[in-house]
Structure 1
């Protein structure tokens, strides 16, 4: 989104100001994707919510017109995942893992998640200065999701590095993304082979058993599913935790209110997700036939980008949307999607964020931002809305 003629120019650097302007101008805009290819951007809440559940908008890239923006390119062994599928394949694969992410199953992780949070805070000590993303917001979710899948400790740091490269590629190192993909392919291939040889009581061993015994997953689908659970389970929660902490530290009235009423944390997490959610855009979609969105006709095969963050700051749905208000009813926000593609790991992301914030409030009462908020650096990405670093003192 770099050309001066592009109505969405500046979106990465200043998303909400751009979204406000676009939303006020028209409901749907023709823009350039990050690769320079065209796409349609949808910004208003009602249009985005309706489109998220519209079965005519496919996630399958086979419906894309040549020359349209198609997003992240992955090899088949990682690309056969839920973010590229429609029913019935989407339904078949999601059904295999949804039981691992039900609210009841996730609630059973409350104690181990809190133990992980406490361990990370113990490593920080009782006073000092740190980058809270690197020291807390990032290692907490990667530990939780790797424990759930059964991934050994020695591989976790590598995966964090690979994920960061894919989410926000470095223009100075154009080969870095390809190198990360190659490394991940080798990693998953070895990991699946090791789990087949020595299965354990973990989600990955269960998925392998489904693949090998029931033949309900292809090998590419299995590897892609594991990749997606790791990628999304880590990336979204890192941003949600980091953005929530920043929100509290830059809104002392809201921080004081939450300290006084910690029981409001679950509802507060919804407002954090609405106000500064982990993703600016939903995964791209392709109409299987001509569709009308916000009065604009989009031809079959053209790319549709649905702005979750613009919808969540639409004043027609959320009054005074730019204000962080932990007393607000933020239900209905779209930060984690809507419809059949609603985020599979949403219960886990909510639990981790709630516990991460609760532990911080209890353990670090003097936590403070150690930088000018205007000078904080955000990821140069449309995929993830998150801080590169979050300097704090405590």
Structure 2
């Protein structure tokens, strides 16, 4: 199929808006050879129908050990590589089923709904701190501390440790264009050591939190291995906030850049849940998508893909597929048919989706309600964005009438 198409991560125009590039790729074929960040080559699946089918197909594995490209394993932190590979996000059944069952009760719709008053309280406190100033950075002041505080309280992680694990997370996940193995390994070792210490402390001082419950599953029930316990704590802590930051900050910025849609939401707060779904579809935090590895030769869109090849199921591109969504490049907060793939699909569907939706709805709604005359302090196209697998603005400076 010729030379792979290279994602132009060094092009500021692509980083600011990758969708024209994606649109061209989808027009040229439903499955394309591409080279993504750090030169990893694979197949890009761009159509909604094909992506949905692949995410539901048990022949597609998320385990990096099923990949024929050994460079993917080399990108993992060397110190705890085997433990990382046993994480719930990487293993398949039966281990995935066992691990997911241990934590799924904490993220049911009913459990998450019970968190609504606390999420609202945290959001109000954060806005109270900036309201008199008439200016803020939505990322640093609201979108980041809200989900971090919520997940810390849910897991039983001291919020006072937030700055430390955020720094380590940034080092682990923030190696966008210039990968530095030493930085990743050092951050991973510090995060792993921190979590081991936290677990040891909780063994002597158990609380009503999710990590304490996992310790019980490990020590009393034998449902977890020790490295699985630490890997689970790492996954829940990092995944519990990193994408929600981008949903809140990026979603609010997108609304501010679409005045008519912004007015609809302001005039009718009942549109908020649907608006969050539309923001997830239109420009969600996972971009361009998720990687899978076929455990046997497969065919997608008429293209044969060998076992072990890297397959990028491009959920962000699929969510703008005109064969599935009417007028897909238009933001429409009143859209009713919106079966987007921003949270994935199938066995690895995002466990924290109900919590992310709740936090997005409360944060965006409260920001719009409590900060009058809210406007971007810089043009939308001048915002700087994270690239590669997690998309979101690095900062969203805004101004408003001081309250």
Which of the five TM-score ranges fits, normalised by the shorter chain?
A: over 0.9
- Distance in 1 (CA, whole Å) between partners of 2:331 and 2:171 is 30
- Deviation readout 1:322-357 (Å, 9 max, x if unpaired): 111101125210001011110000000000000001
Report the alpha carbon displacement of residue 180 of structure 1 after superposing the two structures with TM. 1.4
Q: 1:386 to 1:65 in 2, by over 3 A?
A: same
Does 1:48 pair with 2:30? no
- Distance in 1 (CA, whole Å) between partners of 2:40 and 2:176 is 19
- Distance in 1 (CA, whole Å) between partners of 2:378 and 2:227 is 45
Report the alpha carbon displacement of residue 148 of structure 1 after superposing the two structures with TM. 0.3
Is the 8 Å Cα contact of residues 39 and 69 (structure 1) preserved in structure 2? no
Aligned positions of 1:273-284 closer than 5 A: 273-284=280-291
Q: Which residue of 1 aligns with 2:5?
A: 7
Aligned positions of 1:1-394 closer than 5 A: 6-10=4-8, 13=15, 14-67=17-70, 69=72, 73-74=76-77, 75=80, 76-169=82-175, 174=180, 175-379=182-386, 381-394=387-400
Residue-pair matches, total: 390
> What is the CA RMSD across the aligned residues, in angstroms?
1.8
Report the alpha carbon displacement of residue 129 of structure 1 after superposing the two structures with TM. 1.6
Is the 8 Å Cα contact of residues 131 and 371 (structure 2) preserved in structure 1? no
Stretch deviating more after TM superposition (33-42 or 47-56) = 33-42
- Distance in 2 (CA, whole Å) between partners of 1:93 and 1:260 is 43
- Partner secondary structure for residue 29 of structure 1: strand
Stretch deviating more after TM superposition (369-378 or 281-290) = 281-290
- Deviation readout 1:134-171 (Å, 9 max, x if unpaired): 11100100000000001012211111222222222165
Segments of structure 2 that go 5 or more residues without pairing to the other structure are none
Segments of structure 1 that go 5 or more residues without pairing to the other structure are none
Q: 1:49 to 1:173 in 2, by over 3 A?
A: closer
Runs of 4+ in 1 over 6 A off after TM superposition: none
Scaled by the length of structure 2, the TM-score of the pair is: 0.93
Stretch deviating more after TM superposition (221-230 or 163-172) = 163-172
Is the 8 Å Cα contact of residues 42 and 309 (structure 2) preserved in structure 1? yes
